């Protein structure tokens, strides 16, 4: 009997110990969950390894032109000085896909913008094929495959509609070269769309922020499966595009106007239209767009994320750092390796793993997939043959093709009557020296 009581006592002590163990385990699990949800003490590296970043905007190609005249043989992209971007820092920042901007100065608009754009596409294509860490991608599936293959995916985006010289055939040829996104303007108006900047007094119009030809450009981008980018466009142009586009659009590197009232940022009414469009705003990290001052910190950036999430939901948000294009960045976000610090701050502010998975990656994938879906729905539509009226795009370097005047001293008297005259013009080239 004594032995039985002893066994019973031991069993009860064991049961109490087991109960205490499970209770402590559950309490620890609850504490850990709260820690992840509230204080942001989860493993950010693990989160970003699972959902590596798709960044909407980087101007490394511009810096390669300015600093090295696009001579890739002179640089090692694994480690670059005097810039904020290289392969080593991409890896440290968990950047798995980068939308590389192809940008040429607005001063080239009436000159050789198309040639300069081709040269910038060339340097991005070379960069992303000559380095084994990179992989040039042109579709959602290729982007996903690149992650599985451990590659940094490269997407090409033209920054500024002046690059197509108001030509739909030029737009289509850029698509054939791998371009999958285009910003309709940069800091200058085009003959068919309006910029948020008044720096260049060109192609000014009243009450016509997106012309008939501009609408055709949007339609052709929808047909091709090219993402329409509204960063740098005026608010009126943005609103017109949001009403006209059949596919979701993006602001590839813009922030909230309500937090920082800079004209490059997006006001609430456009954010609400963007939500209806199922598009994406990819928050810019440049100090001037984040804090409206020369100085900023990570908290300032996170304020934009919080505000936009409250207004239109986390599913409408991405990240477009604008490294190499902008000149100053918040303390703690000085280069592309610092993205984990931003995610850490958002975790501290109660952002969930699902929300951050969207911000880092899934929201952009959803938009790109929908753009491709619209393309497939329009597959029976033939390429547009609309041409912009000559008077709308007239400039000294835009010619009317016509037969030569035999009375002109510049014409070749021995030539046949079917020859086309191309009259020479002075100063039809521009040398890039920096970013406006």
Contacts 24+ apart (CB under 8 A), 77-84: 77/127, 77/131, 78/131, 78/133, 83/323, 83/324, 84/323, 84/324, 84/329, 84/334, 84/335, 84/336
Of the candidates 165, 61, 77, the one whose C-alpha atom is nearest the C-alpha of residue 122 is 61
User: Is 304 tagged catalytic?
Assistant: no
Instruction: Point out which residues pair with 280 in neighbouring strands.
Output: 250
User: Is 300 tagged catalytic?
Assistant: no
Cα-based torsion angle of the residue sequence 225, 227, 233, 237 in order, rounded to the nearest 10 degrees: 50
User: Is 59 tagged catalytic?
Assistant: yes
Q: Is 184 helix (H, G, I), strand (E, B) or coil?
A: coil
Measured in whole angstroms, how far is the alpha carbon of residue 179 from the centre of its chain?
12
**Considering 86, 112, 135, 186, which one is annotated as catalytic?**
186
User: Is 394 tagged catalytic?
Assistant: no
Contact 330, 290 (CB under 8 A): yes
User: Is 162 tagged catalytic?
Assistant: no
Contact 233, 189 (CB under 8 A): no
> What is the C-alpha separation between 291 and 30, in angstroms, rounded?
37
Cα-based torsion angle of the residue sequence 194, 198, 201, 203 in order, rounded to the nearest 10 degrees: 10
Which tokens in the block code for residue 217? 């450009």
> What is the C-alpha separation between 116 and 110, in angstroms, rounded?
12
User: Is 94 tagged catalytic?
Assistant: no
Q: Going by DSSP bridges, is the β-strand pair 227-229/179-183 parallel, antiparallel, or unpaired?
A: parallel
Of the candidates 348, 371, 342, 344, the one whose C-alpha atom is nearest the C-alpha of residue 226 is 371
Q: Is 72 helix (H, G, I), strand (E, B) or coil?
A: helix
**Considering 55, 112, 135, 159, which one is annotated as catalytic?**
159
User: Is 232 tagged catalytic?
Assistant: yes
**Considering 162, 232, 262, 286, which one is annotated as catalytic?**
232
Which tokens in the block code for residue 219? 């339609």
> What is the C-alpha separation between 247 and 227, in angstroms, rounded?
8
Catalytic residue annotation: 57, 59, 159, 186, 232, 253, 322
């Amino acid at each position: 009997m004594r032995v039985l009581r002893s066994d019973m006592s031991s069993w009860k002590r064991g049961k109490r110990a087991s109960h205490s163990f499970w209770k402590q385990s559950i309490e620890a699990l609850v504490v850990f969950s709260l820690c992840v949800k509230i204080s942001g003490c989860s493993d950010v590296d693990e989160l970003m390894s699972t959902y590596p970043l798709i960044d909407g905007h980087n101007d490394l190609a511009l810096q390669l032109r300015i600093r090295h005249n696009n001579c890739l043989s002179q640089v090692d992209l694994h480690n670059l000085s005097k810039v904020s971007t290289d392969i080593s820092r991409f890896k440290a920042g968990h950047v798995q896909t980068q939308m590389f901007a192809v940008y040429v100065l607005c001063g080239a608009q009436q000159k050789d913008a198309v040639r300069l754009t081709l040269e910038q596409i060339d340097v991005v294509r070379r960069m992303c094929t000559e380095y084994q860490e990179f992989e040039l991608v042109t579709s959602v599936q290729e982007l996903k495959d690149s992650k599985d293959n451990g590659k940094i995916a490269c997407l090409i985006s033209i920054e500024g509609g002046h690059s197509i010289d108001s030509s739909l055939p030029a737009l289509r040829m850029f698509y054939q070269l791998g371009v999958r996104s285009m910003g309709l303007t940069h800091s200058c108006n085009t003959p068919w769309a309006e910029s948020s900047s008044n720096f260049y007094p060109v192609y000014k119009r009243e009450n016509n922020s997106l012309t008939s030809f501009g609408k055709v450009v949007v339609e052709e981008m929808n047909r091709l499966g090219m993402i329409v980018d509204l960063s740098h466009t005026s608010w009126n142009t943005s609103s017109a595009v949001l009403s006209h586009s059949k596919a979701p659009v993006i602001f590839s590197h813009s922030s909230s106007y309500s937090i920082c009232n800079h004209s490059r940022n997006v006001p609430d009414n456009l954010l609400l239209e963007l939500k209806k469009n199922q598009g994406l705003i990819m928050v810019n990290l440049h100090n001037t767009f984040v804090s409206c001052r020369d100085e900023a910190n990570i908290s300032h950036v996170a304020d934009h994320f919080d505000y936009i999430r409250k207004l239109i939901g986390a599913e409408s948000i991405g990240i477009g750092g604008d490294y190499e294009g902008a000149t100053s960045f918040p303390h703690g976000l000085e280069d592309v390796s610092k993205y984990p610090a931003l995610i850490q701050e958002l975790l501290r502010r109660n952002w969930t793993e699902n929300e951050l998975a969207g911000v880092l990656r899934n929201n952009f994938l959803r938009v790109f997939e929908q753009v491709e879906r619209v393309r497939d729905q329009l597959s029976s539509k033939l390429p547009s043959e609309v041409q912009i009226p000559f008077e709308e795009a007239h400039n000294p370097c835009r010619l009317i093709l016509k037969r030569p005047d035999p009375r002109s001293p510049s014409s070749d008297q021995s030539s046949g009557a079917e020859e086309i005259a191309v009259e020479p013009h002075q100063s039809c080239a521009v040398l890039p020296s920096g970013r406006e």
